[in-house]
């Protein structure tokens, strides 16, 4: 098992509500969740380019970029939608309910993507354990929403 990746994924999960909270502060200051989202992406892009230059990452070949399927470019749009929606929803429903809804949605989508081996994921059939895990997450959402 790749425990380091599990730890890194956990750390990324810990950072997510913090990022949403900080983006919400930017949205209040700019009076716009869309501007807050754009600022977040600009700052993130600057950070990534700084990392590329500092680590001397090689530039991808133009030929490699031209082989990217057209639908894969939608990832940036999905990221922008996600960040903007979390900025809008966080002040209305709070961090715990927001993150529980996000995780439940992610898990259901992930189980379906795995089942069909879609968009490059290895195929892992839906089974009762996965369904039970997803149902427990949905149950967690209900408990967080209710209490």
What is the predicted pLDDT for the residue at 6?
Answer: 87
What is the predicted pLDDT for the residue at 1?
Answer: 65
123 by Cβ neighbours in 10 Å (0-12 / 13-18 / 19+) ranks as exposed
- d(C-alpha 59, C-alpha 66), whole Å: 14
What is the predicted pLDDT for the residue at 5?
Answer: 92
- d(C-alpha 34, C-alpha 55), whole Å: 31
What is the predicted pLDDT for the residue at 129?
Answer: 95
Q: List the pLDDT tens digit at each of the 147 positions of the chain.
A: 689 998 998 999 999 999 999 999 999 999 999 999 999 999 999 999 999 999 999 999 989 999 999 999 999 999 999 999 999 999 999 999 999 999 999 999 999 999 999 999 999 999 999 999 999 989 998 999 988
Strands (E), 53-138: none
Name the pTM for this structure. Answer: 0.84
Q: How many residues does the chain have?
A: 147
Spatial contact of 79 and 126, defined as CB atoms under 8 Å apart: no
List Cα–Cα distances, 55 to 49, 94, 130, in angstroms: 10, 37, 39
List Cα–Cα distances, 115 to 1, 34, 47, 124, in angstroms: 21, 34, 35, 5
């Amino acid at each position: 098992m790749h425990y380091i990746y599990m730890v890194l994924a956990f750390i990324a999960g810990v950072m997510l509500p913090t990022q949403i909270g900080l983006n919400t502060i930017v949205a209040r200051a700019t009076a716009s969740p869309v501007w807050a989202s754009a600022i977040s992406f600009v700052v993130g892009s600057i950070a990534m380019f700084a990392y590329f230059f500092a680590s001397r990452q090689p530039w991808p070949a133009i030929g490699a970029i031209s082989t990217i399927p057209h639908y894969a470019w939608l990832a940036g749009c999905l990221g922008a939608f996600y960040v903007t929606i979390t900025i809008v929803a966080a002040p209305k429903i709070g961090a715990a309910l927001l993150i529980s809804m996000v995780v439940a949605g992610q898990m259901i989508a992930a189980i379906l993507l795995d089942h069909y081996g879609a968009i490059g994921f290895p195929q892992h059939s839906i089974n009762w354990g996965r369904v039970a895990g997803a149902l427990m997450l949905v149950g967690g959402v209900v408990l967080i929403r209710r209490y």
